[in-house]
Structure formats: structure tokens, C-alpha cells
Amino acid sequence: MLNLTLLIKGLVGALLQVAFFGALLLIPAGTWQWTEANQFLYFYGLLTLISTVFLAIKAPRSLEARLEIPMSKSQPLSDRIATNFLLVFLIGWFVFIPVDVFHLKYFAPPQHIISILGGILSLFGYGIMLTALYQNEFAITVVRDQSDRGHELRDSGLYGLVRHPFYTGFISFCAGLALWLQSYAALIVGLLPITALIGRIYAEETMLEEYLTGYKAYMSKVRYRIIPFIW
């Protein structure tokens, strides 16, 4: 049965997120006439609304998990630090893109075909993140013990290829977005939060080894964390 309260909460959150991203991009740009940014906001908004409805119907526990506030008292200190860094960096990174495109102009903008390929990569990354959420209702925004939610191991689908497919999609999404919005500088700067992701992954796996039955064996079975055959 569809949980209308959860659906409405998810849709409102999605709209606020799109509006927030729009403000971070368009206000520093000083113009609303930025084709690539408007394309991104349109497609991202549309996909976010559709995926919210999809999760509310097909995987409500996954949607519920993603709507958790990304901070918790039971959160390990290392994850709290990594999460704060990611949040601050992402906001700064979004602001940096229009500043570079319209003001700093560190590099010549990518060719149109590169921008298109960046858009495809970004949307592909979003698809990976959505699939990871659909396949794992325990993919919450914080690292904590989820025994109260009946935490179970997920080792099929994308989780049979890498242990943290949501992060795989996130990296693809950000890398593609930088190219889509025509900023090579943002692509380079976007490599920095990977250090925070690595710290978060180690904190997450340490807790999962302790609380989630079968996770140690899963780590031996699925060797790669976010990039198949690399790491």
C-alpha cells in the first residue's frame, strides 16, 4: 500500500533539492540564461521526481532510508567528519562551477560533444545511484547500527560487483556534471572529495564487519569497493 505521507515528504524534499542546486548554480553565474545548467536542472528535477515516486511504490523502505538526516548521535566520529566535509565541499563545488565558467575561466570550455558525453555520464551515474537504492533498503545517509531495522546483507545485483555501488554512481554523476556544465576545473577539483569518501567507506566497513552477519565473507567474495578491477 502506497504511503502518501512518505511520498509527499519525498517529493517536497526532491523539489527543495532541485531549487537549492538551482540557487547554487544560477546565482553565482549572475544569469538565468545558462543552457547547460538549465538542462541539468530540468533533467535532474524530472528524474528525481520520477525516482521518488518509483521508490515510494516499489521500495518505500529505501526512500525512507534516504530521507534520514545525514547526522546521528550514534554516528562514528570518523564518519561525522567525512560527512561534514562532503556536505561542505559539495556546496562549495556547485558554487565553484558557475564561478569558473563565467568568471575565472581557468580552461577553455569542453567541446560540445564532450559536454553531451558528460551529460550522459552524469545521468548514467544517477541511474547507478537509483539502482543501488532500489536494491538495498539499508543504504542510509549515515553510518550506524541498523539492527533496529532488521539489517540484512545485500550481495546481489550491483552489490555483487562492488561493495559500494552508490558511491560509484556518485563519482560518475559528479564527473559527468562538471563536463556537462563545461568546467574542466570543476572536474579536477571534484577529485578532492574522494578522500572523504575513502574515509567514509572505511568507517562504514568497520561498523558493518562488527554488526552485520556475513559481511566479512562478503568482503572476501566481492573484492572491489567502488571501481571494478581497480579498488
Span 4-221 CATH architecture: Up-down Bundle (1.20)
According to the model, what pLDDT value does residue 193 have?
A: 74
145 — pLDDT class (breaks 50, 70, 90): low
According to the model, what pLDDT value does residue 150 have?
A: 67
Of 36-40, 59-63, 71-75, 115-119, the one with minimum mean pLDDT is 71-75
What does the alpha-carbon distance between residue 195 and residue 162 come to, in Å, rounded to a whole number?
Answer: 18
121 — pLDDT class (breaks 50, 70, 90): very high
What does the alpha-carbon distance between residue 116 and residue 110 come to, in Å, rounded to a whole number?
Answer: 10
CA–CA distances in Å: residue 157 to residues 87, 98, 129, 136, 189: 28, 37, 13, 10, 31
The residue extents of the domains of the chain are: 4-221
According to the model, what pLDDT value does residue 6 have?
A: 93
pLDDT 10s digits, 42-75: 999 999 999 999 999 999 999 988 887 666 666 6
User: Residue 143 above 70 pLDDT?
Assistant: no
Name the DSSP letter for residue 215: H
The pTM for the full model equals 0.90
* CB-CB contact of 49 with 14 (8 Å): yes
User: Residue 80 above 80 pLDDT?
Assistant: no
What does the alpha-carbon distance between residue 42 and residue 196 come to, in Å, rounded to a whole number?
Answer: 29
Is 180 or 77 the better-scoring residue by pLDDT?
180
CA angle (170 as vertex; 109, 199 as ends), nearest 5: 115
* CB-CB contact of 117 with 179 (8 Å): yes
High-pLDDT (> 70) share of the chain, %: 91
Name the DSSP letter for residue 225: S
